[in-house]
Structure 1
Amino acid sequence: MAELTITGSGGRKITLPTGLFIDNTFTPAEANKTVTIENPTTASPIGAVSAAQTSDVDRAVLSSRKASATWKTTPPQERRRLLNKLADLIERDVQDFASIEAVDAGMLYNMSMGMSVPQAAETCRYFAGWADKLDGQSIDYESGLAYTKREPIGVCAAVVPWNTPLMITSWKLAPALAAGNTLIIKTPELAPLYGQKLGQLIVEAGFPPGVVNILCGLGTVAGQALADHSEVRKLSFTGSVGVGRTILASAAKSNLKRVTLELGGKGPSIIFSDADWENALMWSTMGITIHNGQICAAGSRIYVQEDIYDKFVAEFSKRTKDA
């Protein structure tokens, strides 16, 4: 399988496979289709990775279905152990992931080191703790017994955006695996390299083949194929409102799969005249400048009480120009 190498912090060389991660193996896409990855800071090409086609999605779904039969009956203590092991490996390779997100997604290295990667590890640990606590409920009454039982959904899919890819992937991956589901991750075509690294750690952690499959590919091809697929029982998507609508329509037309959507929005800050002045300025400035404002939580609107409006605008403008 072809590989590509990027230069990380301190000149460290990080070598990554370029194939689709299916059944714990990196494999080429149909007809060797690829997508070229660019460094968003310099617009220079990094290399090419395999781009999943509809038939590749079918392969991944088949792999996930086969794995689901045994993963759903895997003792929760084992699922917990594997998720904790994955967290250990993410923490061990924090510099690799931070370098990848800096080169591939344009994230500040320190932001990835201090937020994205640690939160991904912490998310895995948190949901590992839930693996043996997903209980049902029983109710005794005179004429019989009523009970509920929590069961895995089955094959799930996660479509991930480019801005904080590892962290958002962990939000989708950890709860799905803890609950006994298998997962297909569609990494963003603009920033897929973290997924190549994650696939390596999935194998190293000891997850059985097919429990996690990772596909890079265009949203209009691989993402659409996942939304249309009748064997995908749940899809989680983070991205635009327009694509969210398309996914809902596809889910309804295929198998009424369960859908979770985290879509774009406008996050307002509201500042009254009795607010802590420095605190309001600091958080308003950070809210729109962190990650260039290209995150769902960006404070992209500010409402300011009239009697402090001019003063606030003057100081806020100065700080954002200096940011």
Structure 2
Amino acid sequence: MSLRTHEDWLRLAAEVKLPSRHYIDGADEAGDGKTFAVVSPRDGRTVAEVADGGEREVDLAVSAARRAFDHGPWPRLAPAERGRVLVRLADLLELHRDELALCISLEMGKPISEAHTVELRAAAAAFRWYGQLADKIVDESPQTAQDTLALVTREPTGVVGAVVPWNFPLTLASWKVAPALATGCTVVLKPSEFSPLSALMVAKLATEAGLPPGALNVVVGDGSTAGRAIGLHPDVDVVAFTGSTDVGRHFLRYAADSNLKRVWLELGGKSPNIIFPDAPDLDLAAATAAWGIFFNQGEMCTAPSRLLVHRSIADRITDAVVARAQALRVGDPLDPATEMGALVRESHLDRVRAHIDAAVADGARLRVGGSRVLAETGGSYLRPTVFDHVAPASRLAREEVFGPVLAVLAFDEVDEAVALANASDYGLAAGLWTSDLTTAHRVSRALRAGTVWVNCYEEGDMTVPFGGVKLSGNGRDKSAHALDKYTELKTTWVQL
């Protein structure tokens, strides 16, 4: 963690020069002159006026990416050289860690300690890992008859449109941009209009690292305009999207209405976290449950928002989570002592509070939180919130809240816990806590989720894939498996 104090971060926020234009073909691009305000959720104030892009700016960026792919050096560089550029970019992310972390805290409300130690570490790790992998992607030569030679080569797909959300603006962008660039693709990145500053800053650092013009372009704009333009553009070969399930459906329609581009989706979640009475450490299980739902203000697709607890320990676990919620320090994201920052926008705060009101109306018991806090700052802050006595069929048990709101449900038998966990349209992640090896294996296999954590939550590194099933999407980010999204397999059959 940076040794900067709260006062240091406030001073840096007043001094730092924030980017304000699209980044296309290796240079700033003002577009048609339209702008929009980037409003900080920490105090409701405008921190930057940023260019507002639409079809014209997307077309400029896609054209630059197409030229860079068809005629530029990036796809034709030796993979080891592409890797060295990505590793240099990782070094620059670490060098400029303070400014990037500040951008993230200002634009989406993440505590500066988490932006600095979690988000920036993850983003740099992704570029470094794929940079090191770039020259280790191997082709195949299947065994055929003596008078033939078969070659199976993995080739870059082309122009990638990467559309990413605001909750982890650099982590999720790096999980898409890094493997796409490693394979030799070129990229048009559209960050959320809520969090464009950090992405624009990274694009300039990529040029400094040696990425040629057009290889990485950033267009800022609303999803209904810039995002739609990327989805419909005939020169975009692949779309990689992280966001809501509803918007994911739009991208599938855009692909069908244009060039049938491949669409990879990482969507919502309503992740269950199951605690059995034989968990190896019940106190750790409770503390992790609280950390998981309140980390990043609960604005996390894998957040363990459904806590399924065996009835014999339900009161003990719930009381421990409530105590943690009461002790959690909510405050200014730029204060290193803050444990939970601001929700991304006033409108999002209103949406989360509507879920809370609906839970009360549905008969759930509010144990703690549920109300706005620090309203006098102008920021979008909410108390950590816990409900128990939640009915399995209620909206709180089934709908993604995307905020610091936990639903506690009790169960009696293992099969009941599995049924409750799988009673969701989503399937992104799940957790379970038990000392019984058989239970751990059987339950983890039975859970319909892309990731299952046993006796932990939200653990992993770049070596393992990440993604979901059902309405949580398709395809995988992270690991070597992410390369499947950005490469085509070509068979060459040679008659000798």
TM-score grouping bracket, smaller chain normalisation: over 0.9
Moved more, 9-18 or 107-116: 9-18
Cross-structure match for 1:55: 56
Q: Which runs of 4+ in 1 moved over 4 A?
A: none
Q: 1:99: Cα distance to partner?
A: 0.8
For 1:110 and 1:74, locate their aligned partners in 2 and report how far apart those are by CA, in whole Å. Answer: 38
Cross-structure match for 1:151: 155
Rg larger for: 2
From 254, 258, 265, give the equivalent of 1:254.
258
Cross-structure match for 1:202: 206
Q: 1:293: Cα distance to partner?
A: 0.6
Cross-structure match for 1:238: 242
Q: 1:256: Cα distance to partner?
A: 1.1
The number of residue pairs the alignment matches comes to: 316
| Helix, strand or coil at the partner of 2:134 | coil
What TM-score do the two structures reach when normalised by structure 1? 0.95
Cross-structure match for 1:282: 287
Cross-structure match for 1:227: 231
| Helix, strand or coil at the partner of 1:150 | strand
Q: 1:135: Cα distance to partner?
A: 1.8
Cross-structure match for 1:109: 112
Q: Which runs of 5+ in 1 are unaligned?
A: 1-6
Cross-structure match for 2:47: 46
Q: Which runs of 5+ in 2 are unaligned?
A: 1-6, 329-496
Q: 1:316: Cα distance to partner?
A: 1.9
For 2:22 and 2:8, locate their aligned partners in 1 and report how far apart those are by CA, in whole Å. Answer: 23
Counting only pairs closer than 5 Å after superposition, residues 242-321 of structure 1 correspond to structure 2 as 242-275=246-279, 276-321=281-326
- Aligned residues of 2:287 and 2:320 also touching (Cα < 8 A): no
For 1:277 and 1:139, locate their aligned partners in 2 and report how far apart those are by CA, in whole Å. Answer: 52
Per-residue CA deviation, residues 37-57 of structure 1 (Å, 9 max, x unaligned), is 101111111121001110111
Q: Indicate whether 1:100 and 2:103 are aligned.
A: yes
| Helix, strand or coil at the partner of 2:155 | coil
User: 1 or 2, which has the higher helix percentage?
Assistant: 1
Q: Indicate whether 1:129 and 2:112 are aligned.
A: no
Per-residue CA deviation, residues 257-302 of structure 1 (Å, 9 max, x unaligned), is 1111110110111011111211111110001110111111211001
Specify the code of the residue in structure 2 equivalent to 1:290: F
From 90, 93, 104, give the equivalent of 2:93.
90
For 1:67 and 1:163, locate their aligned partners in 2 and report how far apart those are by CA, in whole Å. Answer: 30
For 1:14 and 1:189, locate their aligned partners in 2 and report how far apart those are by CA, in whole Å. Answer: 20
Aligned-residue identity in percent: 38
Per-residue CA deviation, residues 78-126 of structure 1 (Å, 9 max, x unaligned), is 1011101101100000011111111111111000111100111111110
Per-residue CA deviation, residues 60-91 of structure 1 (Å, 9 max, x unaligned), is 11100110123211111210111011011000
Cross-structure match for 1:36: 37
| Root-mean-square deviation (Å) | 1.3
Cross-structure match for 1:16: 18
| Helix, strand or coil at the partner of 2:170 | helix
| Helix, strand or coil at the partner of 2:53 | coil
| Helix, strand or coil at the partner of 2:217 | strand
- Aligned residues of 1:8 and 1:99 also touching (Cα < 8 A): no
For 2:95 and 2:42, locate their aligned partners in 1 and report how far apart those are by CA, in whole Å. Answer: 26
- Aligned residues of 1:8 and 1:96 also touching (Cα < 8 A): no
